Structure 1
Amino acid sequence: RLGQLVRQLASEGKYQEALQSARNRLTLAEQTYGEEHAMTATCVNDVATFTQAFGDFDAAEAMFERASKVQRKLLGDCHPHSIATLQNLASLYSVKGDKTKEEAIHFLVQALQHSASHQTP
């Protein structure tokens, strides 16, 4: 429910409210599932996205890295959620002007996508 509210608020342009709802959702996920859970990592990624939009790049970077670490550990490197979070991190590096990290993450994402497309079910 909170996830739907976050998306609805964002679609209405109510970004500050969406960020607060995303933070509330993250707190609830941490209390319910703990810090090392896929749902918690998704919530961290969502908060990071809004945090980046508000210009707090260092906080967003730390959150994207946190989400990525948990997702890659629990879901695997080639999982779509893991790859999406890495893409968000690359986008952040682009905004920050860190071309070296941006290119490294893009290369990693391409390699993971290639690997995922060649895995057998």
Structure 2
Amino acid sequence: MHRDRTGPPGQVPRTALIEASCYNRVRLALRLHGPELNLRLPGGRGFRMRIAGQEWRCLDERLGGEVLLLWRGFRRTGGLDHPVHCLLQRCHSYARVIEYTVLADLERALTSMLPVPAAVPARVLLHPVLTR
């Protein structure tokens, strides 16, 4: 049986949802830091994310960079605050265990590299009727 580099034989991608906050942070980081990101994820588990265009790969450095999870085929169906549909492929038997924590780790890694929005001084204005 043929083994594809992106996953084990017979592994079929399934549909998944990416939270809007995570997807938007990734898109912003790609705009600010170039067409490809290579991030070590926090937590000391040896995971790394390689993000290029419409493909996100989670790799395990302890396994020689083997791909654990692969997201691709992103489709926005709503505004910036709506989850994004994609295809998720589990490429290793361990992938199911980490599937739900990897994206949270990715968001933490991106938060540390993205600029913090500056606080804008605000003023409270009274309605003209209330000032009479």
TM-score > 0.5, shorter chain as reference: no
Select the structure that is richer in strand: 2
What TM-score, normalized by structure 1, do the two folds share?
0.26
Select the structure that is richer in helix: 1
Larger Rg: 2
**Greater RCO structure (CA 8 Å; 6+ sep):** 2
